[in-house]
Amino acid sequence: MHAGERCGENLDVVTCMQALLEEEFPSPQLIADSLLEQALKLDENRPVDDISIVVVSVLPAVGDEVRRMTVRLPIPS
């Protein structure tokens, strides 16, 4: 939400989402990547603080009734 403030611009999440939703059904990963790309662009690839993006997707139930959560974290090598 604060991306770009240092440079006098603000991240417009609504406009970013509208552009993404012109696609048929963007994946949660595409949404997260696009928002991160825009935030970094506004901060001239030098963010002042950490950036967190959370995208929640509701999918139709398939298979058992067990709820699962998937989290991916990069691990430096």
Single-letter code of the amino acid located at 27? S
- Residue 16 CA to residue 31 CA, distance in Å, equals 9
- Pull the structure tokens for residue 28: 């949660």
- Pull the structure tokens for residue 56: 């929640």
Query: Which residue bears the tokens 């690839």?
Result: 45
Predicted confidence (pLDDT) per residue in 7-58, tens digit: 778 888 888 888 888 877 888 888 899 989 988 888 888 887 788 888 887 7
Please tell me whether the overall predicted TM-score, pTM, comes out greater than 0.75 for this model.
no
